Structure 1
Amino acid sequence: MTEKFFRIRAKLFRPMGLLASVMALAVGAGVSSVQPAHAQWAVYDGAAHVQTVLIAARELQQIDNQITSLANQAQMLVNQAKDLALLPLSTLSTLQSTISQTTALLAQAQNIAYSVTSVEQQYQQAYTSISSRMSDSALFSQAQTRWQNSVGGFEDALKLQARVVGNIPSDSSAMTQLVSASQSSAGALQAAQAGNQLLALQSRQLSDVVAVLSANGRATDLERARQAATEAESAAQYEHFSQYDAYSPTSVSMFGSSGN
């Protein structure tokens, strides 16, 4: 009988889970309890034992479920921490430095600055105030000022172009770093910050384009204004020349000769 009991227990524990195994133990305990009690000191209650084992099995299952729930919550917190992690790379200081250098070049514009007030005052003095009432020296002085403005405008444009072209290597390096940081980002926040910095880099590059176009346009407009003012200056000089009396031929005697 005992050998048969152990064979039954081995068969039950082989493929079954925790609850089934507990049930098998309970049943085994119930079977063993029906043996003759002449060699036992107390009567064994098999039903109570089965109930106790079942309660313990349910509690173990609940504990296992709680452990699984806590593990899921811990993983969720880890994922949230990754999403909130800051990007370790920042190119803001480099972008601000480059913008400052470009702005400094624009502020160093020669003669006519990038200012509405400055343009109105200096343009009126050197380009639109030409009249025939001005002296030749005044006309020459204004012409020289206009020529210096044109030369300075082209020089400013060349400087700014050189500055923007010099930004290309640093822009390429920053773009490579930001793209790499975005692709290897641990969470959503890092990816978003990398994308924001890429947009900032693009914005700064667009500002460089605007600066170059403005400098080139300024140089071209100054030269066109100089050519238009030259035409007005030529008209004023012609009026000066026409004010003199026309030349009239007269006879001249030389060496006291009255004939030829």
Structure 2
Amino acid sequence: MKTRALSASLAVVLSVSLLAVQPVFALTVIDPTNLVQNTLTAIRTLEQINNQVQQLQNESQMLINQARNLASLDFNIVNRLRSSLARSEQLIAEAQGLAYDVRNLDREFARLYPREYAATVSGDQMYRDARERWAHTLDGLHTAMRLQAQVSWNLREDEGALADLVGQSQSATGALQAMQATNQLLALQAKQSIQAQQLQLTQDRAASLELARQAAASERAREVRRRFLGEGTPYTPHSVRFYGN
């Protein structure tokens, strides 16, 4: 019994001793002021980084916009316009009769459309001149009608060119492309204006040739009448006897 009581007492003592030997952990001391300063510094640094990132993004977008504005339009209609005008000019160059050159025109006009015929000009020559004037008038009308047909064909081509240019203008990605599309639209307008002048030129030429032919025909008729009547004593009618009456 004494032995058991001693053992129990010893166990209690050892237990208490073990509890007294437990280690004590160290505590960390935090400075609130320093913590606030560090936090504010971190926030300002983050804001600066965000501002720099935003600035780089803006500069990148600016460069992209500049590249778009400087991008050239990969579409050119000038050759089509030149080809159309060349066909009209070829028709004018093929015109027969009186030349469009001023010096040759003056010489031929003075020969075929005289103010008055000299007495040395034969009746056959006047007839040949009248025939040549008629041919010139007919050629002028033919040239005007040919150019009218060509202009009608060109207008259909111009409609397609206009549709293409409007599409290019609407799909332009930058200022340069839009400007180039606008310039080509102006070129199309100028081409149509030149074409209208060409057409008016041939029509006026045909009308002028006809008026000149009429004036020359009047002069020829006057000269024929003068030669028929003569310059001496005019014919005087008198009675004629038939069968001795």
TM-score of the two chains, using structure 2 as the length reference: 0.80
Correspondence 1:33-112 to 2 at 5 A: 39-40=25-26, 47-112=33-98
1:223 corresponding residue in structure 2: 210
Paired AA for residue 71 in structure 1: Q
Aligned residues: 219
**Aligned equivalents of 1:65 and 1:227: distance in 2?**
88
Give the Å deviation of 1:61.
Answer: 1.2
Greater relative contact order, per chain length (Cα 8 Å cut-off, separation 6+)? 2
Correspondence 1:16-35 to 2 at 5 A: none
Q: CA RMSD in A?
A: 2.7
Q: Is 1:237 equivalent to 2:229 in the alignment?
A: no
Is there any run of 5+ residues in structure 2 with no aligned partner, and where? 1-23
Map Cα deviations across residues 32-84 of structure 1 (whole Å, 9 max, x no partner). xxxxxx73387655544443343232212101110001101111111111111
Map Cα deviations across residues 123-149 of structure 1 (whole Å, 9 max, x no partner). 111002541411111111111111111
**Aligned equivalents of 2:26 and 2:94: distance in 1?**
110
Q: Is 1:209 equivalent to 2:192 in the alignment?
A: no
Give the Å deviation of 1:85.
Answer: 1.3
Any conservation in 1 of the 2:73–2:181 contact (CA below 8 Å)?
A: yes
Structure 1 stretch 130-139 or stretch 41-50: which is displaced more? 41-50
Give the Å deviation of 1:259.
Answer: 7.3
Correspondence 1:194-205 to 2 at 5 A: 194-205=181-192
- DSSP 3-state at the match of 2:129: helix
1:156 corresponding residue in structure 2: 143
**Aligned equivalents of 2:28 and 2:194: distance in 1?**
96
Give the Å deviation of 1:238.
Answer: 1.4
Give the Å deviation of 1:225.
Answer: 0.5
Is there any run of 5+ residues in structure 1 with no aligned partner, and where? 1-37, 253-257
**Aligned equivalents of 1:141 and 1:247: distance in 2?**
33
Taking every aligned residue pair, what percent have the same amino acid on both sides?
Answer: 36
Correspondence 1:92-171 to 2 at 5 A: 92-128=78-114, 130-133=116-119, 134-171=121-158
Work out which of the two has the higher radius of gyration on C-alpha atoms and give 1 or 2: 2
TM-score of the two chains, using structure 1 as the length reference: 0.76
Paired AA for residue 115 in structure 1: D
Give the Å deviation of 1:115.
Answer: 2.5
Any conservation in 1 of the 2:115–2:219 contact (CA below 8 Å)?
A: no
Paired AA for residue 191 in structure 2: R
